Amino acid sequence: MTKQDLEYFKNLLETKRTSIVKDLGTLQSHSMQSTSAESSGDLTYSDHMPDLGSATMEREKAFLFAARDGAYLDQIEAALTRIQNRKFGTCRACKAPIPRARLEAVPTTEVCVPCKEKQNKSV
Ligand SMILES: [Zn+2]
């Protein structure tokens, strides 16, 4: 992995991180009023959501709820750390270089496809 490659993925990851952090802030301010309804198990709060186009909202909500537990942000942080340590793009399990196409698709990945499949089988 060349210095340019590392720069490229660093920018990619930082852009993703920035947009997640921004979206999380937006979600938090939007969901402030619905928190009590959510925690009491009353899911009708969505009837009172501002009408911003339900398909977009559903998609964004699904994405944000996935991101809200911090898992994806953690993965991005870990990938940025690996870029700093020059370990980015190397499989954590077998130490082989991860193909660039896979990194483009999943820049937060730590393992190559064969190792990922092995992991999935062992679970
Ligand atoms: Zn591997």
Distances (CA, A) of 61 to 8, 46, 51, 86: 28, 11, 14, 34
pLDDT band of 52, cuts 50, 70, 90: low
pLDDT in tens, 40-50: 555 555 555 55
C-alpha 75 – ligand 1 centre gap (Å) = 18
- pLDDT above 70 coverage of the chain, percent: 67
32 DSSP assignment: T
Cα of 100 from ligand 1 centre, angstroms: 13
The string of pLDDT tens digits covering residues 5-25 is: 999 999 999 999 998 888 777
CA–centroid distance, 84 to ligand 1, in Å, is 20
CA of 2 to the centre of ligand 1 (A): 20
Tokens of 62: 């699904």
- Residue predicted with more confidence, 1 or 55: 1
pTM over 0.75: no
The pocket of ion ligand 1, defined by CB under 5 A, consists of: 91, 93-94, 112, 115
